[in-house]
Amino acid sequence: MKEKNNTKHTLIHWHNFKLKLVFEGLAIGILTGLVIVAYRVLLDSASHLRSAVVEATRGNPIKIIAFFGVLILIGAIIKYMIKKVPLIRGSGIPQVKGFLYRKFDMEWKSTLLYKFIGGVLAIGAGLSLGREGPSIQIGGAIGKGFSDIFKRKKLEEKFLVTEGASAGLAAAFNAPLAGVMFSLEELHKNFSPIVIISALTASVTADFISKSFVGIEPIFNFSGVEALPLKYYPYVLILGLIMGIFGVIFNKSILVTQKYYKKKTLIPKRYKAYIPFVLAGIFAFILPEVLGGGHFLIEEMSHINFSIKFLLVLLLIKFSFTMICYGSGAPGGIFLPLLVIGAITGNIYGEILHQYVGMEASYINNMMILAMAGYFTAIVRAPITGCILISEMAGSLQHLLALSFIAVVTYIIADVMKSKPIYDSLLEILDRNNRNNFKSNTDTKVIIENVVCMGSESEGKMIKEIPWPENCLIVGIKRGDKEKIPTGDTILQTGDLIIALTDEDIASEAVKNLSKVTEVCKEAGENAN
């Protein structure tokens, strides 16, 4: 009887809570916006403090030793924090995905506190990491906390976490649409109407809060950059090929670096966590441009003509330093560093075209913008998010055609080279090493969704003809604005949103199996060919 009541309440709740999610998105957007504003302000303050300390210690051996001592101390603090709360390691995006996929749980209080402090310490110390991953995880933790405090159902919880994650990205980069698209394209991997409206509410609210404190200017100041003429699109194609290959190299390097930190080498494992902090201290004196996320470097390159030789050195060191920093597990993301690496590559490419092909110098910045979007797409495999994110960060939509063009090229290159999306790869590693399994309940029912894709096993078939996952009951089909009550004779069409009921303890496996019949798998495509 308990199970029946649980099923009944879950279904009733599903049809009544959509508008409720919008109001909850407002609250989560406000909370996340305020926390991320504080996070951004502290990161900026830490960066200015680091620069002031470096200038004050130059030429004074005792002060320099003390400076490195403080960096090592910060490394020790972060090492202790990671040991205490392992899921604050790295970006935070795989952790949020893992929770949404019900692979492991999230203790929101410790995650929120330690990720916030750890991110400020790590990025503030100069590690080549970004604020976006921590912001997404912090937002997700706020959504989880909201659910726990107000005792929301498991059905509602994942939407609240998604709202927080979307709001976190929106507030971190002043990019509300990218926050929504990231949740759809990367976190959920389907375009659920409920996710769209709830995430959009939270993202817009968080962006409003963020801009109220830090201003309405876009993150990158590319003022005066005109749309790229069509005659240069063949060069965009070449740039796309380059960025696609470089993106594959980036993904492989991230995974190799993580393996290095776990292997036995000449440097004992207990000391490896301090490597990026020592390097940050060295670079603070000889090449401060590679420190931190690096958004200021993109603005410098957009206004200052660096030599190709210097840019090549900058590219090599920024890339290597990012690998070392992220591989160490320090709390920080890769969004911003990868965008910086992409911008440096685009700057080099633009300078070569200007000096040897005769392209106008005014279009070098265009190549930087396009390289960022291409690099992001090749690495994350979220092309729409990449195009929207770069457009919002650059404060202009006039590059959208060129951005879309290079995103298609880099996506195809990464796919042909069989490079998995970086966050999927990181989630697999996290899942293998994680001991914090999701706490599920066989009596708890949850709703899962998936869209029927063109060419999938379920397209054009009656519901009774489809081999649905075990313990997965189809309870609704949303087609356009109408929601149908399914029967065995209901024929599924491309674009139908499948609404299914399943047990919480098998939800992760049910989502995976549901995708096999609603999406087009590569094996099926290869067999068809």
C-alpha–C-alpha distance, residues 10 and 444, integer Å: 9
The per-residue pLDDT for 10 is 56
The mean pLDDT value for 435-452 works out to: 67
Determine the CATH number of domain 2-214.
1.10.3080.10
The per-residue pLDDT for 1 is 39
Does the structure show a pLDDT above 80 at 480? no
Does the structure show a pLDDT above 90 at 494? no
Contact 198, 159 (CB under 8 A): yes
Does the structure show a pLDDT above 70 at 441? no
Q: pLDDT grade, residue 521 (50/70/90)? A: low
Q: Look-up: residue for tokens 């990161």? A: 43
Does the structure show a pLDDT above 80 at 437? no
Q: Do domains 2-214 and 230-430 have the same CATH topology?
A: yes
Helices (H), 215-355: 233-262, 269-272, 275-286, 295-303, 308-327, 335-352
The per-residue pLDDT for 170 is 94
CA dihedral in degrees (440, 18, 469, 492; nearest 10)? 180
Domain made up of 440-528: CATH architecture: 2-Layer Sandwich (3.30)
Among 28, 19, 31, residue whose Cα is nearest residue 163: 28
Domain boundaries, the chain: 2-214, 230-430, 440-528
Does the structure show a pLDDT above 50 at 419? yes
Percent helix / strand / coil, the chain, rounded to 5: 70, 5, 25
Distances (CA, A) of 25 to 18, 188, 350, 499: 11, 17, 42, 22
Q: pLDDT grade, residue 526 (50/70/90)? A: very low
C-alpha–C-alpha distance, residues 301 and 393, integer Å: 16
Tokens of 277: 């902090």
Residues 6+ apart with CB under 8 A from 390: 339, 369, 372, 373, 376, 399, 403
The mean pLDDT value for 52-79 works out to: 93
Which tens digits make up the pLDDT trace of 256-267? 998 888 777 777
The per-residue pLDDT for 221 is 74
Q: What is the largest CA-CA distance in the chain?
A: 81
Which tens digits make up the pLDDT trace of 123-164? 999 999 999 899 999 999 999 999 999 988 777 888 899 999
Among 197, 214, 159, 199, residue whose Cα is nearest residue 34: 214
Q: pLDDT grade, residue 485 (50/70/90)? A: confident
In eight-state DSSP terms, residue 123 is H
Tokens of 34: 């305020």
The per-residue pLDDT for 528 is 42
CB count in 10 Å sphere of residue 83: 9
The string of DSSP codes covering 385-425 is HHHHHHHHHHT-STTHHHHHHHHHHHHHHHHHTTPPPHHHH
The residues with which 474 forms a beta bridge, in sequence order, are 500
Q: Considering the chain, what percentage of its residues have pLDDT values greater than 90?
A: 53
The mean pLDDT value for 400-416 works out to: 94
List phi, psi (to 5°) of 128: -80, 75
- Report helix, strand or coil for 478: strand
Q: Look-up: residue for tokens 């060419």? A: 455
The per-residue pLDDT for 291 is 93
CA 41 to centroid of chain Cα atoms: 21
C-alpha–C-alpha distance, residues 318 and 58, integer Å: 23
Contact 219, 476 (CB under 8 A): no
Q: 230-430: what fold?
A: Clc chloride channel (1.10.3080)
Contact 493, 454 (CB under 8 A): no
Does the structure show a pLDDT above 80 at 118? yes
Does the structure show a pLDDT above 70 at 186? yes
The per-residue pLDDT for 529 is 41
Contact 496, 478 (CB under 8 A): yes
* Arithmetic mean of pLDDT over the chain: 86
Q: pLDDT grade, residue 17 (50/70/90)? A: low
Q: Look-up: residue for tokens 């809570």? A: 17
Among 272, 238, 443, residue whose Cα is nearest residue 352: 238
Any idea what the Cα angle at residue 189 is, between residues 177 and 85, rounded to 5°?
85
Q: Parallel, antiparallel, or unpaired: how do β-strands 472-479 and 445-451 relate?
A: unpaired
CB count in 10 Å sphere of residue 149: 9
C-alpha–C-alpha distance, residues 122 and 125, integer Å: 5
Task: Identify the helix (H) or strand (E) that includes residue 499.
Answer: strand 497-503
CA dihedral in degrees (319, 321, 322, 326; nearest 10)? 150
Among 508, 510, 514, residue whose Cα is nearest residue 105: 508
- Report helix, strand or coil for 441: coil
Q: Among 113-117, 202-206, 490-494, name the one with the lowest average pLDDT.
A: 490-494
Amino acid (1-letter code) at residue 169:
L
The per-residue pLDDT for 185 is 87
